[in-house]
Structure 1
Amino acid sequence: MKFAEINLLAELEKPEFKELRTALNERKFVATEMIADPFSAADDEITKPDASASGCVFIVKEGRLRVFLSAEGKEFTLSILEPGDIYTCHTGTFVQALTPGLLLTTSIPVFHAYMRDIPQVSKVMVRILGNMLKSSFGIIDGLVFGDASTRLTDFLLSIAKDEGGKQVARLGMTGEQLAQHIGSTRQTASTLLNDMVRSGILIRVKRGVFEIVDRTRLEELKK
């Protein structure tokens, strides 16, 4: 469920982004660390001493983070950020680290300046924002109209990658994190995965890794 299919790390290696690269600060994080909390925005320390009350922009260089909303004791995952993804701390969402990793950060005013002065930055950001908007509508549709099975199916299809001619889905998260991601209980998430394995749709390669052996049937679960 990546927000954008554009890898900004690759874009930053281009000569026209040299000045922007120098404005980015590296910031390490550990697993389960809260990167952004809308209820404590005033205490944002992610880019200090460069952070301002308006927050910051960050690019994931290493690791994985979860973007989610929280209401009435429930958490709703919007996206998993991976290397090359970009996000900002002033969106009103929570961002929590799933694994240890590294961010490239800068303040929003600084980033806005580069968007204004370097046309290539603006073009890339427009493409990224377009992908984010498209993805967000799909996520909202799933949360409103879909059930846990549909959300799990969407997640498996979104993370599946070709590995030696096989479609492999590496969850990259604990059972509890997966349950949070699809808005269900841990038991429900486990039961759904087990049902897919028993029905021959998936093969459990090892813990947290599944081969999709019948993609057509998996996609039919969304209907």
Structure 2
Amino acid sequence: MQNQARGVEAKSPWWWDEARTSIGRHFLRDLEGLWADVLRLAAVVEEDLVQSVRALCDGSMELAEDVRGRKRNVEDWEVTLERECVRMLALHQPVACDLRRVAAVLKINADLERLADFARHISKRVGKLAEEPLGLPVPQPLENLATAALGQVRRGLDALTRADVALARQVIADDKGIDRSYRKVVAGLKRDIVEDPRRVDAWLLFISTARNLERIADHAARIAEVVVYLKEGEGPRRSA
């Protein structure tokens, strides 16, 4: 699978050769472990997102419950990573590019935390939609938005793993397209509410899910910005 291959492919960070000349051996060892943990967490979060969207589109309560059941493990992992970053900052007191690397891990961890939250939010809505007496299948435009958002996550993490600045910049640029699709989906769902108000609760759940998908793509773009930040020393600016 994509996420399994990612962990093997990125056994050592791309900045490894440069780091060997600028930081101490113990800091290097700690940073290597930190990086490996971030990539493993990224693989888990990516899989949770894929399963939550599949649960939504298929109406699978089983898949939704699987995602929600992993909440505590993912949260514990995120807290451990944050504590390890703080420990490294206090113990090694890195400066310049070394400090930037630890700060980047903290930022990625925060984005992964939000992505995991969105996966659980979507999974919860699977249950709420199943309870609707006038339930509906997922509208095709919403399913298309979900596919596009997952594609952004996959490519953002690929860019991070491979240090692919060109791919990272493409992910950042494509975020505008996701925003446009999101607005079209919401506009269509609002029309559906007017045309079929009996199903207003289901339409509102779909609107909320669309918002989550837009935010998922946004965090994928933020991860892509970290790639540019690590490689070039400053992140790109996205226009509003």
- Tell me if both proteins adopt one fold, taking TM over 0.5 as the criterion: no
Which one has a larger percent strand, Structure 1 or Structure 2? 1
Q: What's the TM-score, normalizing by structure 1? A: 0.29
Which one has a larger percent helix, Structure 1 or Structure 2? 2
